[in-house]
Structure 1
Amino acid sequence: QAADYARRSLTQRVPTLLDGDFALSESSAITEYLDQAYPESSVYPADVQQRARARQVQAWLRSDLLPIRQERSTLVVFCGQKRPPLSAEAQAAATKLISAAQALLADNREYLCGQWSIADVDLAVMLNRLILNGDPVPAQLVAYAQRQWQRPSVREWVELRRPAL
């Protein structure tokens, strides 16, 4: 099965989207493709500035905060794996994440950009790396991440059957 995946996925990375005979890897490429290929189910805000903000948040989550990603992999999110306390470097990254998320969601906003976008899911995944491991996260951000997790399409994704570790 790994050889089949490697043949389909140019970068041999997760995630890889299969849309008919077309395979595409890398999260940002996938979300931009989906937004353009299926405009009736847009994953980005229509407003150009809000769209830019959503992409900014996604780019920041992917390019920064490496210590969190290293110490709280998605195995914490999708497989319930528990990890030891954060290192000082990862704790500094967590503090940075929490501060930025609180600023982005000031006034208890339900969504980053006034309406749901894929950036909300990305931020919720990053927050859940901490929340689901039991790391301290302010209640407002826990509630935000839980709201994103309750979206039917997100529930379906979270509950996908995954191979045993």
Structure 2
Amino acid sequence: MNTARTRLYVDAQYTSPYAMSAFVVLKEKSIDFELIALDLGAREHQAKDYAHLSLTQRVPTLVQGDFALSESSAIIEYLEEAFPQAPVFPQDIKQRARARQIQAWLRSDLMPIRQQRSTEVVFCGQKRPPLTADAAPAVSKLFDAASTLLADGREYLFGEWSIADVDLALMLNRLILNGDDVPPALVQYAQRQWQRPSVQAWLNLSR
């Protein structure tokens, strides 16, 4: 497939965790692409030209020729099937299903953490006040699930790196990088994922 016209639309602040996931997958697969930043505050994602590309008028949106696709989960799964080299999901069908389960969970649950620890904590070095009592159940659920998945001290969720590792590390780093108490084993796991070159490429974007 010709990837010369591949474009990825992301937020201008580079703080979207979903844009980051799509960006990392493109880097992992060594796909040549143009990164285009939209100012969401100025509602550039609602402009007519972009709305014509992005069905949901959100970021990220991937464009290849006359094909445009929004929503990060759909983008990642499309790239995995279209460019099977350098897979970003486990090859075992059950592990692959588990990876998608983890991603869907992290995108749809744990709202108190996402509300009280925005990604500006992760990407911009901001600090937020202590978590409220309402966040405690979400934090406990996150720690319990992550500790269960990584119970044997493994470096990655499924023996080898997958995009689910980035998503889980990002959620943990919402707490870690704010200075909240996180089990040491989970801190080490998150720090390991953060050193991956594709992740560093996103972190090093000028903000």
Shared fold per TM-score greater than 0.5: yes
One-letter amino acid matched to 2:53: R
Unaligned ranges ≥5, structure 1: none
The correspondence for 1:151, drawn from 196, 200, 203, is: 196
CA 1:45–1:86 in structure 2 vs 1: closer, same or farther (change >3 Å)? same
The correspondence for 1:115, drawn from 149, 152, 160, is: 160
Aligned to 2:35: none
CA–CA distance in structure 2, aligned partners of residues 5 and 160 of structure 1: 22
Aligned to 1:128: 173
CA 1:19–1:157 in structure 2 vs 1: closer, same or farther (change >3 Å)? farther
The correspondence for 1:28, drawn from 73, 78, 94, is: 73
Aligned to 1:81: 126
Aligned to 1:41: 86
1:141-164 alpha-carbon deviations (Å, 9 max, x no partner): 0110011011111111222234xx
> How big is the shift at 1:5?
4.5
1:115-158 alpha-carbon deviations (Å, 9 max, x no partner): 11100000001001111111111111011001101111111122
CA–CA distance in structure 1, aligned partners of residues 201 and 64 of structure 2: 18
TM-score (norm 2): 0.73
Q: Verify the 8 A CA contact 1:5 1:12 in the aligned structure 2.
A: yes
Unaligned ranges ≥5, structure 2: 1-37, 39-43
Is the counterpart of residue 140 in structure 1 residue 185 in structure 2?
yes
Aligned to 1:54: 99
CA 1:82–1:38 in structure 2 vs 1: closer, same or farther (change >3 Å)? same
Please tell me whether Structure 1 or Structure 2 has the larger radius of gyration of its CA atoms. Answer: 2
CA 1:53–1:134 in structure 2 vs 1: closer, same or farther (change >3 Å)? same
Which secondary structure does the structure 1 equivalent of 2:114 belong to?
helix
Higher relative contact order (CA 8 A, sep 6+): 2
CA–CA distance in structure 2, aligned partners of residues 72 and 127 of structure 1: 10
One-letter amino acid matched to 2:71: E
> How big is the shift at 1:112?
0.6
Which secondary structure does the structure 1 equivalent of 2:129 belong to?
coil
Aligned to 2:62: 17
Q: Verify the 8 A CA contact 1:34 1:43 in the aligned structure 2.
A: no
CA–CA distance in structure 1, aligned partners of residues 111 and 95 of structure 2: 25
| Aligned residue-pair number | 162
Percent sequence identity is 73
CA–CA distance in structure 1, aligned partners of residues 123 and 108 of structure 2: 21
1:78-128 alpha-carbon deviations (Å, 9 max, x no partner): 111211111112122011101110010011111111111100000001001
Q: More helix by proportion, 1 or 2?
A: 1
CA–CA distance in structure 2, aligned partners of residues 156 and 19 of structure 1: 22
Q: Verify the 8 A CA contact 1:9 1:16 in the aligned structure 2.
A: yes
TM-score (norm 1): 0.90
